[in-house]
């Protein structure tokens, strides 16, 4: 079997667009880590300055690939001695994805009396966490009340 080598000239015609795409995506995600994304525009109200702040979470992944064929005829199964078409000698592709999440976490208040940080409490998250904890506790209590269900493989 003969290997097909890609010369640097051929490589440059395929890879830069994928590399540039990945670089552009990475740059956009890195912008989310800037100070401007974490701290909002300060608001002046009389002698008091209010600065909103947020938590930014981001995650991403991407990949780029390139392939080549043998350039030789290939036999396919079930066709007997019949030869299939010549396999081509090129390929390429790339893809990626990501997600950026932000949520307000606090407000910084600067006034003549001093600077203080007022946390923003998300009541919905607290309620969901409480419901989840109560559900697990009820489930464990039910398992402890019926020992046969708790350990079904144990013989008495």
pLDDT at 115: 95
pLDDT one-digit tens code per residue, 105-114: 999 999 999 9
For the chain, the average pLDDT equals: 76
Quick one: what percent of the chain has pLDDT higher than 90?
A: 28
pLDDT at residue 57 greater than cutoff 70: yes
Question: Domain residues of the chain, as ranges?
Answer: 8-120, 121-156
pLDDT one-digit tens code per residue, 85-136: 555 567 777 777 778 888 889 999 999 999 999 999 888 889 999 999 999 9
Alpha carbons within 13 A on the beta-carbon side of 119 = 3
Q: In what order do the strands lie in the sheet with 43-45?
A: 43-45, 48-65, 93-111, 114-119
Q: Where are the beta strands (DSSP E) in 112-156?
A: 114-119
The residue that leads in pLDDT, 70 or 111, is 111
Alpha-carbon distance 50 to 107, whole Å? 7
Per-residue pLDDT, averaged over 34-63, amounts to 86
């Amino acid at each position: 079997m003969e290997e097909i080598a890609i010369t640097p000239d051929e490589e440059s015609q395929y890879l830069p667009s994928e590399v540039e795409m990945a670089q552009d995506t990475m740059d956009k995600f890195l912008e989310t880590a800037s100070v401007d994304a974490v701290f909002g525009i300060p608001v002046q109200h009389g002698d008091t300055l209010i600065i909103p702040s947020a938590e930014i979470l981001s995650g991403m992944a991407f990949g780029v690939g390139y392939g080549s064929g043998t350039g030789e005829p290939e036999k396919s199964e079930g066709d007997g001695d019949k030869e299939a078409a010549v396999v081509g000698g090129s390929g390429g592709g790339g893809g990626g994805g990501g997600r950026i999440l932000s949520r307000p976490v606090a407000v910084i208040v600067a006034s003549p009396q001093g600077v203080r940080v007022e946390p923003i409490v998300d009541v919905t998250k607290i309620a969901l966490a409480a419901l989840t904890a109560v559900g697990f506790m009820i489930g464990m209590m039910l398992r402890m009340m019926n020992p046969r269900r708790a350990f079904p493989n144990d013989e008495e």
